[in-house]
Amino acid sequence: MNTLHTVRYGQDREIQFSLNDDCDLTQCRASGNALADPSAAVTAALESPEGFPPFSSACVPGDQVVIAVDDHVPCAVDVVNGAVRALKSGPAGGEIQIRVLCASQDTATRIAERLQLDTIAHDPDNRKELTYLAASKEGLPIYFNRLLHEADVVVPIGAAQPLASLGHHSASGGLYPAFADSAARGRFQAARDADGEAGWKQRHDEASEAAWLLGVQFAVQVVAGPDDTAMHVVAGDTESVARKSQPLCEQAWCFEPATSAPLVIAAIDGEAVQTWDHFARALHTARRIADEDADIVLCTTLAVPPGPALRQLASDLVDDELERELRRRHTPDVLAAQLLFETLPTAHVHLISDLDPNVVEELGMTPLEPGDLERIASRHGRCLMLPSAHRAAVRWLQATDAPSA
């Protein structure tokens, strides 16, 4: 007997494939329910924040307010709409100027088109848009987007992430390095490899220090749900928000599989998250639960051409040279390039995407059509499926259960 299974990915796309009932298939789904009205939840959180009076009372007539939206925030349009409604509901609501600063051009475009707000995309390489704030305790220069430095009120909105996820940052990470310069972003990327947990703690401290120097001790954290939805919204002083949102995020997105599998199917769902950064997050989680020599199938609608770091994978550099070249790069696609470089010797990575198949092959992956998934799946007796793999993280029940990769 065969059973029909469904993988949802992208914006309203799905693949149906059948597996023999003898196949051991486990789905690692998010635990919890999506909010019926995320916009209203944001408004409510800002009206009753943790450790703060209603946020609308923080504004006075003439204030310049900047809503800073990190790239990982789910249903960003609804979330920003809820924040604007909360700000406008206060006594100075009709006499404040609200601008939205986004970590990416794609998010900025969607918010500008749908909400008709003054929206700007952050460019970490444009020195004219950056301002020097101070030197950190390590003596490192801290640069922020000029709009944040000049604002009277800043509302930072970020996405809570599991502790074991790729690039996990503190509640202050929605500000820094999201709206810092390229050098700061590079330090956070390098921390993944250099010093392990100690390196990340150092960067967490840097993010908290930068936010404190900017004078921002307030945060909004959104716990994502599946399919680009939101489960929880927490607002208030940064420490209280972290204490409350982190357990909610761990409960929703941290999985404890009993063992690894020879086949991992990892989907990236939602329209706004089809980026190489989210590809890297999905691959990071998928490879942690994959056997050696496993098939990893990434289901995406990725259409963004590979950046300079990924293009290095198609170069003639030998492994040692390529590894050094990737470590020195600070481009947005470097994490994806590093993870592919590390994964391809131990697993077969297949990609369903909107990219040219030749481009996928040049990166060392196998391009797949949606109809090919059943053929791949039929080879294996055990499969782990990761819906919303870019949000997920793995915590092994026992250290000895974890694969060597």
- pLDDT over threshold 70, residue 341: yes
- pLDDT over threshold 60, residue 400: no
- What are 217-252's pLDDT values in tens digits? 999 999 999 888 999 999 999 999 999 999 999 999
| Residue 357: both structure tokens together | 């198949």
- pLDDT over threshold 90, residue 185: no
Average pLDDT value for the chain:
89
Instruction: Specify the range with the lowest mean pLDDT, choosing from 52-61, 66-75, 177-186, 321-330.
Output: 321-330
Confidence band for 316, pLDDT divided at 50, 70 and 90: confident
Please list, residue by residue across 163-196, b when 16 or more beta carbons sit within 10 angstroms of its beta carbon and e when fewer do. ebbbbbbbbbbbbbbbbbbbebbbbbbbbbeeee
pLDDT for the residue 194: 41
pLDDT for the residue 236: 94
- Amino acid in position 114: R
- pLDDT over threshold 90, residue 350: yes
- In angstroms, the CA 149 to CA 132 distance is 9
Query: pTM higher than 0.85, yes or no?
Result: yes
- pLDDT over threshold 80, residue 169: no
- pLDDT over threshold 70, residue 198: no
- In angstroms, the CA 286 to CA 296 distance is 7
Greater confidence, 251 or 331?
251
Domains defined for the chain, CATH in brackets: 2-28+257-401 (3.90.226.30), 38-250 (3.40.50.11440)
Query: Which of these, 255, 299, 241, 308, lies nearest to 273 by C-alpha position?
Result: 299
